[in-house]
A = this chain, B = another copy of it.
Amino acid sequence: MKQIDLSLYAITDENLIKPENLAEAVEQAISGGATVIQYRAKNKNSRQMYQEATVIKKVCDKYGIPLIVNDRVDIAIAVNADGVHVGQEDLDVEVVRRIIGFDRILGLSTKNLEQVKKANSLPVDYIGFGSIFPTTTKENAKVSGIETLKEVIKLSIQPVVAIGGINHKNVIEVLETGCKNVAVVSAIFGSDDIYSATKKLKAVIEKGR
Which chain A residues have a beta carbon within 8 Å of chain B's beta carbons? Answer: 45-48, 50, 71-75, 77-78, 86, 88-92, 95, 98-99
Asked if A46 contacts B99 (CB within 8 A), the reply is: no
Asked if B90 contacts A46 (CB within 8 A), the reply is: yes
Which chain B residue has the least Cβ–Cβ distance from A86?
B46
Complex contacts, A45 vs chain B, CB 8 Å = 89-90
> SS class of chain A's interface: helix, strand, loop or mixed?
helix
Alpha-carbon gap, A74 to B73, bound state (A): 6
Candidates B47, B48, B72, B92; contact of A74 at CB < 8 Å = B72
A182 → chain B, closest Cβ, in Å? 26
A–B pairs, 6, beta carbons within 8 Å: A45-B90, A46-B90, A47-B89, A74-B74, A78-B91, A78-B95
Which chain B residue has the least Cβ–Cβ distance from A45?
B89
Asked if B71 contacts A99 (CB within 8 A), the reply is: no
Which chain B residue has the least Cβ–Cβ distance from A98?
B78
Candidates B50, B91, B92; contact of A95 at CB < 8 Å = B50
Asked if B74 contacts A46 (CB within 8 A), the reply is: no
A4 → chain B, closest Cβ, in Å? 22
Alpha-carbon gap, A77 to B71, bound state (A): 15
Asked if B91 contacts A74 (CB within 8 A), the reply is: yes
Which chain B residue has the least Cβ–Cβ distance from A54?
B95
Chain B CB within 10 A, most for which of A47, A74, A86: A74
Alpha-carbon gap, A46 to B73, bound state (A): 10
Alpha-carbon gap, A98 to B86, bound state (A): 23
Chain B CB within 10 A, most for which of A46, A48, A86, A90: A46
Chain B CB within 10 A, most for which of A86, A88, A92: A92
Alpha-carbon gap, A61 to B94, bound state (A): 22
Complex contacts, A72 vs chain B, CB 8 Å = 46, 74
Complex contacts, A46 vs chain B, CB 8 Å = 71-72, 86, 89-91
Complex contacts, A75 vs chain B, CB 8 Å = 91
A45-B89, A45-B90, A90-B45 given; A78·B99 CB < 8 A:
yes
